[in-house]
Amino acid sequence: MLKLNKKVEKMKKIIGFSFIGLVVGLLVTYLYISAKNNYKLHKVQEKEVVDSIYSSGYIDSVHSVVVKSQVSGYVEKILVRENQDIKKGQTLAIISNPTLTNNLLEIAAQKEFIMKRLKEDSPFLKELRDSVEIKRINLENLKNVYERRKSLFEKGLISRESFEEVEKNLEIAKRDYDKQVKIFEDTVESLKSQLNSLKARKDSIQSEIEKHTIKSPVDGLVLRKFVNEGDYINSMTASNQLFLIGNTQKLETVLNIDEEYIPFVKEGQKVLVILDSYPDDVFEGKIKLIESIVDRNNRTVRVKAEINYHKPVSLGMVVEANIIIGSRRALFIPSNSYKDGYVEIFQNGRIERQPVKVGQKSYDGLLEVKEGLSKGQKVVVR
């Protein structure tokens, strides 16, 4: 796990490695002093090494939401401030769109014009009714003429030609009357249809205007305000961010883990965290979620942890953390007892040169022994 620990030195205050001895005396070096030769003897000690993965991150809200705009336009009004408590559905800002407003005014004017024409006493409908009435009177007069001519024709007092002429005029009058009635009905129906069309247009525009009214999707606190009045918002760009809304009572810690280490990270693993605000404190917690998407820009995966912050913290605070992925026991010697692949050991009353293999990493002045020594052997430190 040496590869996993290459970043751990950044947090020696937290973890490095823990020493667990079989007896209390393991933390006390065995010191033998030879005044003549000026050297010390240290026993090879067995200690516990904790393997961890280093990461940095930040404190976030569990239920934070970035509010975006569905439409493009200029920010006309901002109605909230940072750190303000808000409710779901509350208006946060208004995006200006003069075109839509003008369209609504035009629709209102057209509607008013049509409604005036449809009023029962309107001059427009009166003119249409008068035209129908003229045709009706003409039809009634021709009906009377027809009845008289018919009686005269049956008595042989007028010619067939005279009777048929009146009959023809009556048919024309009926057609004219029916046509005028149809004109009246079609005109009224057309006006009503125009009203319905205007209503549909108005609803559509109001729906679009509704998108220009930015509302909060959740209850919470305005954590960040990304825009000011007069700023232009392009709904198609990544910079389309207006507000960050969240709950400061429920916090989580977001860690950015290098993708190469993700196979070693598991939910439930212990996490140790430090903050610059509290350099002497270590906060403990555990991994609760490992996201499944890799950020292609920095090749990291977001990992969320529940940390017990027993002191006041704020959203956005930067943290440094170590995720504990395992532990093992190993042998250690002072780093200044090793040189060029050898140590000197004291046994049978004399000093002998002994080849050893050690790890490349130094643990607070100690080297891990890979091969060549046993627990309890004495190495020389000059």
- DSSP code string of 300-353: EEEEEEEE---S---TT-EEEEEEEEEEEEEEEEEGGGEETTEEEEEETTEEEE
Q: Rounded to the nearest 10 degrees, what angle do helices 160-211 and 123-154 cross at?
A: 160
The answer, yes or no, to whether residue 33 has pLDDT greater than 80, is no
Structural domain contains residue 162: yes
The answer, yes or no, to whether residue 35 has pLDDT greater than 60, is no
Q: Is residue 219 domain-shared with residue 82, that is, in the same domain?
A: yes
Q: Which two tokens stand for residue 190?
A: 């057309």
Q: CA-to-CA distance for 323 and 52, rounded, in angstroms?
A: 5
- The β-bridge partners of 294 are 301
Q: Tokens 């516990």 identify what position? A: 48
- The per-residue DSSP string of 124-150 comes to HHHHHHHHHHHHHHHHHHHHHHHHHHH
Q: Decide if 299 contacts 360 (C-beta within 8 A).
A: no
Residue 89, pLDDT score? 94
Q: What is the mean pLDDT of residues 64-76?
A: 92
Q: Decide if 296 contacts 334 (C-beta within 8 A).
A: no
User: For residue 119, which phi and psi values (nearest 5 degrees)?
Assistant: -65, 140
Q: Is residue 78 domain-shared with residue 116, that is, in the same domain?
A: no
Domain boundary among 154, 185, 211: 211
Query: How many other CB atoms are found less than 10 A from the CB of residue 12?
Result: 11
Q: Decide if 372 contacts 356 (C-beta within 8 A).
A: yes
The answer, yes or no, to whether residue 54 has pLDDT greater than 80, is yes
Q: Is residue 175 domain-shared with residue 198, that is, in the same domain?
A: yes
The answer, yes or no, to whether residue 30 has pLDDT greater than 50, is no
- The β-bridge partners of 333 are 367
Distance, CA of 320 to chain centre: 24
Residue 266, pLDDT score? 95
Structural domain contains residue 202: yes
| Residue type for position 237 | T
Q: CA-to-CA distance for 15 and 120, rounded, in angstroms?
A: 89
Percent of the chain with pLDDT over 90: 73
The answer, yes or no, to whether residue 314 has pLDDT greater than 90, is no
User: What predicted TM-score, i.e. pTM, was given to this entire model?
Assistant: 0.53
Structural domain contains residue 339: no
Query: How many other CB atoms are found less than 10 A from the CB of residue 245?
Result: 25
Q: CA-to-CA distance for 206 and 204, rounded, in angstroms?
A: 5
Q: CA-to-CA distance for 50 and 138, rounded, in angstroms?
A: 110
Residue 343, pLDDT score? 96
Over residues 239-298, the pLDDT tens digits come to 899 999 988 888 899 999 999 999 999 999 999 999 999 999 999 999 999 999 999 889
Domains contained in the chain, number: 3
Q: What is the mean pLDDT of the chain?
A: 88
The answer, yes or no, to whether residue 152 has pLDDT greater than 50, is yes
User: For residue 265, which phi and psi values (nearest 5 degrees)?
Assistant: -95, 130
Query: How many other CB atoms are found less than 10 A from the CB of residue 157?
Result: 10
Four-point Cα dihedral 350, 354, 358, 361, nearest 10: 50
Q: Is residue 89 domain-shared with residue 237, that is, in the same domain?
A: yes
Q: Is 201 helix (H, G, I), strand (E, B) or coil?
A: helix
Closest CA to 5 of 244, 336, 362, 255: 362
Q: Is residue 377 domain-shared with residue 280, that is, in the same domain?
A: yes
Q: Is residue 311 domain-shared with residue 221, that is, in the same domain?
A: no
**HSE-up (13 A, CA, CB side) for residue 308:** 6
Residue 37, pLDDT score? 62
Q: Is residue 110 domain-shared with residue 70, that is, in the same domain?
A: no
Structural domain contains residue 174: yes
Q: Is residue 174 domain-shared with residue 276, that is, in the same domain?
A: no
Q: Is residue 179 domain-shared with residue 107, that is, in the same domain?
A: yes
Q: Decide if 70 contacts 171 (C-beta within 8 A).
A: no
Q: Is residue 261 domain-shared with residue 227, that is, in the same domain?
A: no
Closest CA to 78 of 268, 231, 194, 209: 231
Percent of the chain with pLDDT over 70: 90
Q: CA-to-CA distance for 369 and 236, rounded, in angstroms?
A: 59
Q: Is 3 helix (H, G, I), strand (E, B) or coil?
A: helix
* Position 51 confidence tier, pLDDT thresholds 50, 70, 90: confident
User: For residue 267, which phi and psi values (nearest 5 degrees)?
Assistant: -65, 140
Whole domain around residue 73: which residue ranges? Answer: 65-97+213-245
Over residues 193-244, the pLDDT tens digits come to 999 999 999 999 988 888 999 999 998 899 889 999 999 999 888 789 999 9
The answer, yes or no, to whether residue 371 has pLDDT greater than 70, is yes
CATH code, domain with 74: 2.40.50.100
